[in-house]
Chain A
Amino acid sequence: MKLQTKNLNLFSKTTLRHWKREPKNTLLLITVLALGVGVFLSIRLANRAAVSGFTLFTDSIAGESDFIVRAPIGDLPVSILPEIRDALGPLPVGIHPIIETTAARTAKTEASLYRLVGVDLVSLNNAVYLEAKSDHSKTSPPSNQPFDVKLGDSRLVLIGETMAASEGLKVGDVLPLILDDRRIELEISAILPNNPLRASIPENLILFDLPGLQKLIGKPDKISRVELKIPPGEDRQRILAETKKRLSEIAETQFAIDTPSNRESSAEQMTAAFRLNLTILSTLALIVGVYLIFQALEASVVKRRPEIAILRSLGVESWRIQRAWLFESLIIGMIGSAFGILLGYGMAQLAVGSIAMTVNTLYFENTTTAARLDSGEALFAFLFGLGSSLVAGAIPAREAAATPPSQSLKSGVRSMGLPILRKPIIGVVFVVAAIALSQLPPIRGAGDLRIPLGGYLGALFWLLGLSILAGLLFPTVRKVLMGFSSKNAPLKYAASQFRNPGGRHRLTAAGLLVAVGMAAGMAILVASFEHTLTGWIKNLLKADLYVATAGTSNIGNENLIREDTWKVVAARPEVEGVDIIRRQFIRIDGKETWLAGSVYNQNSDRRLRLIWVEKPTDPNPENLNLDLPNKTIPVWISETFGRRFSVGMDDTIELPIPDFEVTGTVKGIYADYGNERGMVVVHRDRIVTWFGDESVNNVAVYLNQGTDPETARTAFKKEFPNLVIRTNEKLRNESLTIFHRTFSVTYALEAIAIFVAVAGLGMALAGLLIDRKSELTTLKEIGFTRRQIATATLWEGLGLGIVGTLGGLILSLALGHLLIFVVNRQSFGWTLDYQIPLMSLLSLGALTIATSGIVAFCVGWFGAKLRREQEG
């Protein structure tokens, strides 16, 4: 207790008073930590929100189901319901058949997508605690009031309170939608209030009576799934087990049994690699922030060294001084992390849109618009920030404690910094370790998750190794600067600082190197991705017009172009030929993927060409219709499918087609950067045979030679107003826009990292000037003007900027290679062409060096006022 009091006194009598005297410094430190923690937390919250946007409607309406029964592909027949009822016998299990599809608000390209869900409202009314509003402006009527819906009506629908509020809808309003390729009009018959005890009703959910939606979409005898719910009670566990057993007995190949938690965790697994990558990137901002805190605390040690020495000479033990410094970093950590949580919550709201859109495009449909502050994530971020601050404070604290009393009145004593930075051999060892680690295979996690741990560790060791080796660049930079210094005293003085650079110089350069290296490494990844994607799109998009249903950029879109529509499109006189594709979800080994049936235009040379990872011996897509000698059918798979299901060329795949025994043999593997679930491609005729449905998802139209695409598009649009029709150029541009949007969070994180690193450089230079205030006074006494001192600091900042940037650019080449050939390939299974975006890297380097110079000049301008203590 006594010791604690002493510590507190030391803290309040020294540290607190310094904070009071220099509030701006303290504020900057706290801001930087808050920024680091904020970025880290915001990405995690936004990630979480994007994944949690994947909810089943029952979570919000009827509470969570216990089991979900669905077909391995396509829909279930209604006849499955009595079978299930019979199998379950007297077990008290609620059976809720559901049919689900999507519709878009308008036929615009990026139209928002709605989920149309048909449920048996009578059975649901009996089973759950629904409240309906007959007028949304009034409070809810008492519970158990039946829905005010004419049962089986395909026009009358219910919507949630959130959707009603955001779209200004009320009971009786008409809601026009595009379903498949036609326009429909729905009438709002009731508005469901949000229930605080359950998940909110998704904003895009429109509820029908089951027969109403079945009739609307022309599937009177089909359902999408059956949700089963067991009431609470003592016997619940037994009934759960018994239900599962009895369902399994009748399931065979006709349906799969799932649970909502399984579905959610599979959604989480699917996006795990994507989220992990973002989290790691967001950690960068925190790492650079840690480095900044380290710099700042070290600067404060230097600045207060005489004071520490006086304390030491008065008999204060070194461990007590060390503890006071650690206590200081603890307090900064606590305050900074607390602000970081608030900042992170705010930033998450900005980031969530971008992340949710990426998830929508690549993984699954979700409706996330806001991130919630999760207490677990907030605590994690707080502790991470606190721990980082303590780590950052540890070395300066040790340095403070090591200050001998004799240094009290000496000036010009240079800080030691990190001794490891002076040992290039360790840097070489780290680089060798990095190369070795990057050869390791990925660690397999749950489901599809593959963690490229070796890749990440390799990146870390590259980063550490080059941070150390960057010190070797100082002599060269000095030599270059000296070459220009014959008539420039400030430049000569600045260059002389790199003769035997101190720990702070090396550390500052290392901090810049990390930030520039990571940012440039990401730029290489993005450029490689863009180059590959552009090439892929160029090969893929050979047609003149693309016809699709509304909401096509959303992977959850289930709208189809019916046979009578696309055949009219194909038969138009200006059309030379079409590519058509029909794709649908299929479950293989319990994992959802796509099955696609395609027919490609063979009438012209401008036909679509897939980019092969493993080229088929017979690349003619028409021949996919021929059976193979081993009684299997030929299939092509995407690279991602191969990775997810661990299949390669000539491997076989069992396709769970109802009433058919289908085995496919992989005869080609193509690159596909459009989805992460993977795809199996068969001839479209097979799909028609298996499912008896001629509808398609997309039609790519090849026009006759000489036909103007824009004129044709206008004509098409007039005939098919409910379809989205884009020219080749527009679709290319849209694809690239989506791509850039996907990376927008990445760009923001890079900018923050560079900002923090340059702020670190400013702080380091300020520390250096404090370190050298005796020298500054000497310079003034020799005749240096304030501008010349600032110019000398500018040159020094530029020198540091050059070392950090050069090292960073070298690091980026290694990191880019790792990200593309190890991390990306192991996480996503995508093969990318390694591209170095020379102009982007040069711009980034020039910007960093220039900013370093400007910051350095400002620091020098203010630092020039520093004076040594009076002597003698």
Chain B
Amino acid sequence: MNSNSTEPVLRVSNLTKAYGDRTVLSDVSFSLAAGERVGLMGTSGSGKSTLLNCLGGIDKPDSGSIEITGNFIQEKTADELCKIRRETVSTIFQFFHLLPTLSARENIELPLELIGIHIDERNERVQNLLEEIQLTHRADATPDELSGGEMQRVAIARALAPRPKLILADEPTGNLDSKTGESILDLLEALSQKHDTAMLLVTHSKAATRICSRTLKIHDGALETSN
């Protein structure tokens, strides 16, 4: 694409979204540079999830624009949005959302298959990622055989597999104990640095923002502060 160090990976401008009479996002604007990690904090119902859904192309904003690596996603068709989700934006979830019938390896490999990467390269990338998350020995385990921390590592590897420019991490440590949560944060930090991937980290926890260069706060759908 057309990303470079001066161009932001993500630029959100005047984003507004309402469900009926209730405004969920109100004139939200911010941007993320390549490789930058930004925290997004807010209470329940503050509009975090809606913002993430809009950024992921799952929801459509009522007004405003979302530009990801130069592409205005609200102008894209459903298939073009799918392509963006495959190649440019990945999501990490609080509840991991691994596909339960696929092994760890297969879960990581699936996005690469969607992109159509050759099997040899696929195998190499998956193997490298398994090593990076230190789960080579658990590659053939299915999610129900993995611990919470292991599942989240696999989810991170899956998110990184297509080498996206942006990762949307939705409470990635919210369902883990504090020790495991810390290790996951370390992993996210290390891998985003290594792969030069920008990250929007949605969290309740102030501590989790330690890996971010700045933090955005959202309240009643509007951004309050920008550090």
Contacts and interface: CB of A to CB of B under 8 A. Distances in A.
Interface of A: 411-412, 414, 486-489, 492-493, 496-497, 499-500, 774-775, 777-786, 788, 867, 870-872
A493 B111 CA distance: 11
B76 interface: no
B113 A492 contact: yes
- Give the 10 A-B residue pairs with the shortest CB-CB distance, closest first: A783-B86, A496-B101, A489-B113, A778-B97, A783-B85, A785-B82, A872-B171, A496-B102, A781-B91, A489-B114
A784 B102 contact: no
Contacts of B116: 487
27 contacts: A414-B100, A487-B113, A487-B119, A492-B106, A493-B99, A493-B101, A493-B102, A493-B110, A496-B99, A496-B101, A499-B142, A500-B101, A774-B97, A778-B93, A778-B98, A780-B85, A781-B85, A782-B110, A782-B111, A783-B111, A783-B115, A784-B114, A786-B78, A867-B58, A871-B93, A872-B171, A872-B174
Nearest to B53: A870
A775 B174 contact: no
A492 B102 CA distance: 9
B52 to A, nearest CB: 10
B202 to A, nearest CB: 8
Contact of B114 (A497, A783, A786): A783
A489 B110 contact: yes
A51 B41 CA distance: 80
B36 interface: no
B49 A870 contact: yes
Given A411-B95, A782-B85, 4 more contacts: A492-B113, A784-B82, A871-B94, A872-B94
A782 B114 contact: yes
Interface residues of B, number: 38
A497 B101 contact: yes
B13 to A, nearest CB: 23
Contacts of A782: 85-86, 90, 110-111, 114, 158
B214 interface: no
A785 B78 contact: yes
Interface centre among B98, B114, B158 (most CB of A within 10 A): B114
Nearest to A496: B101
Contacts of A780: 58, 82, 85
B170 interface: yes
Nearest to A870: B49
A366 to B, nearest CB: 59
Interface of B: 44, 48-49, 56, 58, 78-79, 82-83, 85-87, 90-91, 93-95, 97-102, 106, 110-111, 113-116, 119, 142, 158, 162, 170-171, 174, 204
Contacts of A487: 113, 116, 119
Contacts of B82: 780, 783-785
B135 to A, nearest CB: 19
Interface centre among A488, A775, A783 (most CB of B within 10 A): A783
Nearest to B122: A486
Interface centre among A411, A497, A780, A782 (most CB of B within 10 A): A782
Contacts of B119: 486-487
A799 B113 CA distance: 21
B49 A775 contact: no
Contact of A778 (B99, B106, B142, B204): B99
Interface centre among A487, A786, A872 (most CB of B within 10 A): A872
A786 B85 CA distance: 13
Nearest to A775: B99
A11 B82 CA distance: 42
Nearest to B170: A872
A788 B58 CA distance: 16
B114 A781 contact: no
A781 B99 CA distance: 12
A535 B116 CA distance: 59
A821 B65 CA distance: 75
B113 A777 contact: no
B158 A872 contact: no
Contacts of A783: 82-83, 85-87, 111, 114-115, 162
A486 B174 CA distance: 35
A805 B113 CA distance: 30
A74 B91 CA distance: 92
Contacts of A488: 113
B95 to A, nearest CB: 6
A411 B83 CA distance: 26
B100 A412 contact: yes
A684 B38 CA distance: 107
Nearest to B48: A872
Contacts of A777: 58, 97
A184 to B, nearest CB: 79
A781 B106 contact: no
Contact of A775 (B87, B100, B114): B100
A787 to B, nearest CB: 8
Contacts of B97: 774-775, 777-778, 781
Contacts of B111: 782-783
Given A492-B110, A782-B111, A783-B114, A871 B95 contact: yes
Contacts of B83: 783
A499 B58 CA distance: 30
Contacts of B49: 870-872
Nearest to B143: A412
A302 to B, nearest CB: 15
A484 to B, nearest CB: 13
Contacts of B85: 780-783
Nearest to A786: B78
Contacts of A496: 99, 101-102, 106
B193 to A, nearest CB: 23
Contacts of B87: 783
Contacts of A778: 93, 97-99
Nearest to B99: A775
A785 B99 CA distance: 16
A867 B97 CA distance: 13
Interface centre among A411, A496, A784 (most CB of B within 10 A): A496
B120 to A, nearest CB: 11
Nearest to A502: B101
Interface centre among B48, B113, B204 (most CB of A within 10 A): B113
